[in-house]
Structure 1
Amino acid sequence: MSDFAGMEDLLQDFLQEAHDLLSDVDNKLVELEKTPEDTGLLNDIFRGFHTVKGGAGFLNASELVTLCHLTENLFDRLRNGELELTSELMDVIMDATRGVRDMFGELGQGVQPQPADAHIINALKAALSGEVVAAAPAPEPATVAAAHVGEPDWNQLQAAVNGEVVPAELVVKESAPAPASAPVGGVTPVPATPPSPFGRRTSDRPANKTAAQARRVEDRNRENTIRVDTSRLDQVLNLSGEIGLTKNRLTSLRADIIAGKNDSETLHALDQAVSQLDLLVSDLQNSVMKTRMQPIGRLFQKYPRIARDLARQLGKDVELVLAGEETEVDKTMIEDLADPLIHLIRNAVDHGVEMPEERAAVGKPTKSLVRLEARQEGDHIVLIIADDGKGMSAERIRAKAVEKGLISEEEANTLDERQSLSLILLPGFSTKTDISDVSGRGVGMDVVKTNIQKLNGSVEIRSEPGKGSVFLISLPLTLAILPVLLVLLGDQPFALPLSLVREILPIDQDKIQEVGGRHTLVVRGEVLPVISLAKLLGWPQNRKPEYGVFMQTAERSFILGVDSFAGRDDAVIKSLEDFRPKGVAGVTTLSNGQIVLILDMKELLSDMGQHGDSGLVVRHFDFA
């Protein structure tokens, strides 16, 4: 039985608004730590807690009201200059926001939240009384014993990133906290709880596990909702009305034609009405697609807090810089990007940037910069995760891959710098010798590659030793509509993603050369393998291909041999849920009603070998 019977809609509205408010507060707290004298930020954070407290009071969530009230009072004293913001006090405030988020999880399960952690309440009261608050030391990442070097449950690890309870088998042993310092001015410091793995503090709240489960249920429920600008809905409504009027006009013309009225004026009116309908339907389709588009800033806003917590745990000074937050991405894509971006940001903080003393020794600023940027380029979205750290050595990566048995020495000798850097995306690859609670298992980058490929995207890595690394993720603008090139094998059409097509050219059989037992063709001085689509699909090849499609994926360049072309189309993708053959991304329907398979070229080519077995040429980029 829910504690909020009859108030379910009100509760969901509160949680939606409160989650956004708390995420905004988290970001502003990170900014406030850099500029503690900024009264505007203090006022904004104060108002955020006040608004959450008001909504919680209306729902009679007394424990949430208590926690927000104490934190609100603390910020009231800060903005009035009665208290000074220190790093220890900021840790207490961060703990308070984490406690508020835990309570949101319990509310999402339909139950009143349990009292906040006693440590948080005591620390807040001590700070309000003017006492010195002792912060728990940020330990070095602990080393996991050899018995735990197996593959972890990634869902549980991700739960830890989100602040949830980590099962005992994944928790690493922390060193005992340093003894509390002597009282200052006769005031006894508040004892601090040692930080838990992933920069989170452990808690003795019995309801933590329930709250964590509730958050997961609530997050799944929120995935089914979307915020849409009312102006976009108005546009959809207006276009629907226009289409209704055009439909009525067509119905009238149809009646006239059936009645035998087929003069030139009637046929001209019919042609105009059909053209108008075509235009309106196209506009409606674009407008509906825009309702799925969401600013990626809603995803970005949780990462400054994650970067801040991890940097503090590791003893590093790191600033996460966000750019392009207004860039709009398909909502379903935003949800699937959460895990890859967390891994890349955590890797940048843990692996990429150096300790402050190391940076100072080589003449770098002690503060490291990690940049997270989004921008639209044509019909693609590009995400950039860059750091100004120590960079990566292609030679060391190759050697480590050989040592771990991921590739052979012969394969390693054939790889250029770009291919070598891409080895870090392989499952099980890690350059770390010790496994910590942050990294070292070789899981994160494999998750990045897998999730991005599911979105029909690609990952490109650039790095320069001593200067830093850049990860570029390229994604289609939307997953619902895909521009395709229709090619023919005999009379059977197939759809190829247009984003992979660079050029269409005729194949002169006299110019095809055999290199290493494979057919190749020279295009502007570049030797490219020629692969028959019929061969890829396992079809009988009755005749030699007459045309070639110059295609480029993130890893390969090649010419796909086909019989002919049927034009270009914007395919509305329909997934094959019950049965999906290998190499088929989905299906679409042509204007004549014919069903066409949309080919997944990366999957079709995967059977031909990843490191040169197919003779495919790896695409090359210059570092910039």
Structure 2
Amino acid sequence: MSAFSDVELLHDFLTEAGDLLEDVDSKLVELEQSPEDAELLATVFRGFHTIKGGAGFLEATHLVELCHKTENLFDKLRSKKLLLDAEMMDSIMAATGEVHRMFGEMRNGHQPGAAPVELLDALDAAIEGRTVAAAAVVEQVAIQTASEQAHSPVVAEDDLDWAGLYEAVVGVAPRELEQAALSTGMATEAISRQAAAAVRPKAPASKAKAAGPATTTAKENSIRVDTVRFDQILNLSGEIGLTKNRLSCLFQSINAGVVNDDLIKSLDTVVGQLDMLVSDLQSAVMKARMQPVGRVFQKYSRLARDVSRQLGKDVELVIEGAETEVDKSILEELNDPLIHLVRNAVDHGIETIEDRIACGKNPKGIVNLSARQTGDHIVIEIQDDGRGMRPEIIREKAVEKGLISSEEAGQLSVQESLQLIFLPGFSTKDQISDISGRGVGMDVVKTNIQRLNGRIEIQSEPGHGSKITILLPLTLAILPVLMLKLEEQIYSLPLSSVREIIPIEEDRVQFVSGKPTMVVRGEVIPLLDLATLIGRESNPGPKVGVLAVSGDRACILAVDSLVGQDEVMIKPLEGIKPKGVAGATLSGEGLLVLVLELRELIEGKL
């Protein structure tokens, strides 16, 4: 039996070889700046040699051939029989791109196809010391790979069948919820499965097919964790087990009718210990999910290098704070926004070599990608020393493309003008290229960041460069929420979206263009009935207003009453993404609570 048919062995190879290839990619960018660095040459040589060995065991012949030729080239480079030049580096970069492609085919269970003959000939020529016009045979595979890896937005349903959702989860129709309490034994996994089953049949067949690829996109399902953190989790689990045994003894005493002050005091002490241990365990598990952002950042050195070379620019990507840690789920979703931002910094931000010299700048442009932790948030900054953004040009382009009127453009401040780049369809490029000009990218960035409960800010100085700042929570697993009620049903809203709570009084409600609004400290804010937004009947009784913010939009949500603040473990609804719903959780009483997503909920309503 072929080793390739061993799924576990293949998975192990792809995991280890994938990490190794990412390291090789980053080392190659460094090597281009220091082509005679013996340590870098040896590291890349060992990388290709190791990958070749594993591929040989799996009988991936074409991968072995490609790695063998590249390994031979580096053997001559490290023994100083050859000197690394730009054309040779292009061939090497193309070879690593082909290895990435072959890994993708192996991940799908297929033996990898052969590398292009032109690439193999270019490597042979480089080994023999012959000059080859690399540009004629080498494609910019890194850019294509990055585009293919971009995260596909989740396909959302236009309308959610709330009645079907509740009936499937709770087992009764919505109107019967007042008389039927949800059992506290319902697991959150069951919530996800039953809710998904309720909504999925409502989707048209065409939409279900369209959503298929998005749900099958390969995501890394393994994680590297320091054994010290695992030991901490194991110790806490043992302590909780001992505390549980103590609680069982106390419970038996109570059942036997032995109730006195000492027993009540012991019970109070044990419950306090259990509360502390569970909190510590929760914290330890969250830390185990934390991963350094450098795992994502290191990919972009290659991207910046290839884009700049394609555009004829000289750009260096400087990475800072790679050791900063963030939750794995957030790290996975950061890939697509950062690809767009790094690519835009090189394409739009950094000038050509000639223009930089004419402005008295260093011919080499610098793009700085940094990360740091501030409180319970992570701050990511992408800063360049390029041409900067000119607000007047941005306004002109937005008017030219019909995104805003000339009257609206004349009333915008500098900061509001910069925010126009996030509008769908906006682009300052007159011609479409492989890299930019289609008017997509920055709107995707903003949408994805908001989906992660984050925000994005822009600062720019014409002639000196731009800085884009992304602020994100460290984790999405534990979410602080505001619990609110519509009749007897509890909903929750992320606390990060809530600005304040205000009473809704009839004499304070004003109508603008037929729509209810309220004035809060001189600001006119739309008033929306939450029950109407989710398709429920509105209660005519007194209302409480929740002033909430999503991006640069604010609204007041009218609800029946407030329950209070809580921290919940949010569970996504597997296989679907209902509009206006981020996920589901259970309250302390065991009742189903849907976590609302404000951005989708108010979309098109303001």
TM-score of the superposed pair, with normalisation by structure 1: 0.77
Which amino acid is 2:363 matched to? T
Q: C-alpha distance in 2, partners of 1:540/1:114?
A: 61
1:365 aligns with 2:353: no
Which amino acid is 1:455 matched to? L
8 Å Cα contact 2:118/2:137 also seen in 1:
no
1:234 aligns with 2:231: yes
What residue is the counterpart of 1:20 in the other structure? 19
* Closer, same or farther: CA 562–8 of 1 in aligned 2, 3 Å: closer
* Closer, same or farther: CA 131–163 of 1 in aligned 2, 3 Å: farther
* Closer, same or farther: CA 62–585 of 1 in aligned 2, 3 Å: closer
Per-residue CA deviation, residues 496-527 of structure 1 (Å, 9 max, x unaligned), is 322234455x659699596968655554xx64
What residue is the counterpart of 1:195 in the other structure? none
8 Å Cα contact 1:532/1:545 also seen in 2:
no
1:529 aligns with 2:528: no
Correspondence 1:8-407 to 2 at 5 A: 8-136=7-135, 161-162=147-148, 220-407=217-404
Residue 298 (structure 1) shift: 1.3
Residue 23 (structure 1) shift: 0.7
Q: C-alpha distance in 1, partners of 2:37/2:4?
A: 42
* Closer, same or farther: CA 597–70 of 1 in aligned 2, 3 Å: closer
8 Å Cα contact 1:511/1:521 also seen in 2:
no
Per-residue CA deviation, residues 362-398 of structure 1 (Å, 9 max, x unaligned), is 1121111112222222222222222221122222222
Q: CA RMSD in A?
A: 3.4
Q: C-alpha distance in 2, partners of 1:62/1:406?
A: 53
Residue 259 (structure 1) shift: 0.4
Q: C-alpha distance in 2, partners of 1:138/1:462?
A: 40
Q: C-alpha distance in 1, partners of 2:274/2:40?
A: 51
Counting matched residue pairs gives 537
Residue 564 (structure 1) shift: 5.7
8 Å Cα contact 1:487/1:566 also seen in 2:
yes
Residue 313 (structure 1) shift: 0.8
8 Å Cα contact 1:4/1:110 also seen in 2:
no
Residue 358 (structure 1) shift: 0.7
Per-residue CA deviation, residues 195-225 of structure 1 (Å, 9 max, x unaligned), is xxxxxxxxxxxxxxxxxxxxx99x9455233
Correspondence 1:462-611 to 2 at 5 A: 462-487=459-484, 493-503=490-500, 520-521=518-519, 523=521, 527=523, 529=525, 531=527, 537=533, 540=538, 542=540, 551-556=548-553, 565-576=562-573, 582-609=579-606
Partner of 2:482: helix, strand, or coil? Answer: strand
8 Å Cα contact 2:304/2:315 also seen in 1:
yes
Which amino acid is 2:240 matched to? I
What residue is the counterpart of 1:4 in the other structure? 3
Q: Which moved further from structure 2: 230-239 or 257-266?
A: 230-239
Residue 361 (structure 1) shift: 0.9
Q: C-alpha distance in 1, partners of 2:242/2:457?
A: 49
Give runs of ≥4 in structure 1 deviating > 6 Å.
508-511, 578-581
* Closer, same or farther: CA 511–463 of 1 in aligned 2, 3 Å: farther
Residue identity (%): 56
Residue 158 (structure 1) shift: 5.9
Which amino acid is 1:21 matched to? L
* Closer, same or farther: CA 509–100 of 1 in aligned 2, 3 Å: closer
Per-residue CA deviation, residues 398-450 of structure 1 (Å, 9 max, x unaligned), is 22222222223333333322222222222221122111222111122232233
1:409 aligns with 2:403: no
What residue is the counterpart of 2:175 in the other structure? none
* Closer, same or farther: CA 522–445 of 1 in aligned 2, 3 Å: closer
Residue 81 (structure 1) shift: 2.3
Which amino acid is 1:65 matched to? V
Per-residue CA deviation, residues 210-264 of structure 1 (Å, 9 max, x unaligned), is xxxxxx99x9455233333322222222222222211111111111100010011
What residue is the counterpart of 1:452 in the other structure? 449
Q: C-alpha distance in 1, partners of 2:297/2:575?
A: 35
* Closer, same or farther: CA 535–15 of 1 in aligned 2, 3 Å: closer
Q: C-alpha distance in 2, partners of 1:88/1:597?
A: 57
Q: C-alpha distance in 2, partners of 1:581/1:24?
A: 39
Which amino acid is 1:11 matched to? L
Q: C-alpha distance in 1, partners of 2:458/2:529?
A: 29
Q: C-alpha distance in 1, partners of 2:297/2:529?
A: 41
8 Å Cα contact 2:383/2:468 also seen in 1:
yes
Residue 271 (structure 1) shift: 1.4
TM-score of the superposed pair, with normalisation by structure 2: 0.79
* Higher normalized contact order (CA 8 Å, seq sep 6+, divided by chain length): 2
* Closer, same or farther: CA 535–393 of 1 in aligned 2, 3 Å: farther
Which amino acid is 1:415 matched to? L
Partner of 1:569: helix, strand, or coil? Answer: strand
* Closer, same or farther: CA 109–493 of 1 in aligned 2, 3 Å: closer
Residue 543 (structure 1) shift: 5.6
Which amino acid is 1:29 matched to? L
Per-residue CA deviation, residues 168-203 of structure 1 (Å, 9 max, x unaligned), is xxxxxxxxxxxxxxxxxxxxxxxxxxxxxxxxxxxx
Partner of 2:242: helix, strand, or coil? Answer: helix
* Closer, same or farther: CA 233–430 of 1 in aligned 2, 3 Å: same
Q: C-alpha distance in 2, partners of 1:55/1:437?
A: 35
Partner of 1:82: helix, strand, or coil? Answer: coil
Higher helix share: 2
Which amino acid is 1:124 matched to? L
Gaps of 5+ in 2: 151-212
Partner of 2:222: helix, strand, or coil? Answer: coil
What residue is the counterpart of 2:161 in the other structure? none
8 Å Cα contact 2:73/2:126 also seen in 1:
yes
Residue 487 (structure 1) shift: 4.1
Residue 44 (structure 1) shift: 1.5
8 Å Cα contact 2:87/2:134 also seen in 1:
yes
Residue 6 (structure 1) shift: 5.5
Which amino acid is 1:92 matched to? S
Per-residue CA deviation, residues 265-323 of structure 1 (Å, 9 max, x unaligned), is 11111112222222222222222233332222111221111111111111011111112
Residue 345 (structure 1) shift: 1.4
> 2:435 pairs with 419, 433, 438, which one?
438
Gaps of 5+ in 1: 142-156, 165-215, 610-624
Partner of 1:136: helix, strand, or coil? Answer: helix
8 Å Cα contact 2:529/2:538 also seen in 1:
no
Q: C-alpha distance in 1, partners of 2:465/2:137?
A: 25
Correspondence 1:409-428 to 2 at 5 A: 409-428=406-425
